[in-house]
Amino acid sequence: MKKIIIVTGASSGIGLEFARQLAPRKDCSGRLMDELWLVARRADRLTNLAVCLERDNPGLVVKPVAADLGGRTGGVLLSGLLTKAAADGGAFVDTLVNNAGFGTYGRFDTTDLTRQLDEIDLNVTSLTAVTGAVLPYMGRGSRIINTASLAAFSSMGGFAVYAASKAYVLNFSLALAAELECSGIAVIALCPGSVDTEFADVASEGLRKKVLHGKSPALVVKHCLKLLEKGKKIAIMALKWRIKAFLPRFFSRYFTAKVTMFTEKRPSRADAQH
């Protein structure tokens, strides 16, 4: 039976780091996993990463899967791939990392609606569909890592859809952790603040290339995996992030949305045109 690790959004940033740090993972007998599946849209990046990971981890088969996971597509895709793997000697998913997602800066009413709906499709629908497709191939000892965000703890003006979508990821992950505990399947929600990735470039449509004081994705992933081994359900690395996650408990969600709209301004092409 093949033991498989699956990482979505693996072509850059946090997803790429999960792929790097999970590639050397071994089972209880000291054997490397059989396969690492890297799923993302950019085929060239996935192929280059696969070559590097196979070179550094002899015996591991790294499979690049170039695909757009939006909506229910990702669940259908992975269900088909796992069905095929199961028919070819069996398949057991050791770790699933749901990292694919993106954000959009700007007011809801001035930002392209299709883009925001695509954001929900990827951040919420796809994550749910992928999890549902993979779960039948998991069992005792399996792990699910869902990338949420520090934004999951607040309603955020100028970041409304993203914060709401990540609140779903956080709450879904915690409920799933409770439901799967007796099955021996661990679930953790990764809730980072600003990380040095391409996120801001995409969210701002090129207006902000990098966030200020972004943390290292390698450190964020290392911390998450460490907490996962300890049985924790939420991973928030930096002290200032933990404080920001805690503070909204003392204020109304509306108040938090108003404050963040003015104190955490993010550049948006749509807002600039209005």
Q: Residue 1 in contact with residue 92, Cβ under 8 Å?
A: yes
Question: Across the chain, which distance is largest between two alpha carbons, in Å?
Answer: 61
Q: Residue 1 in contact with residue 90, Cβ under 8 Å?
A: yes
Question: Distances from the Cα of 265 to the Cαs of 87, 128, 209, 271, in angstroms?
Answer: 51, 30, 15, 11
Q: Is 121 exposed, middle or buried (0-12, 13-18, 19+ CB in 10 A)?
A: buried
- What's the CA gap between 186 and 180, in Å, rounded? 7
Q: Pick the catalytic residue: 105, 137, 162, 254?
A: 162
Known catalytic membership, residue 162:
yes
Q: Residue 159 in contact with residue 204, Cβ under 8 Å?
A: no
- What's the CA gap between 102 and 98, in Å, rounded? 12
The closest alpha carbon to 234, from 218, 246, 251, belongs to 246
> Catalytic amino acids?
162
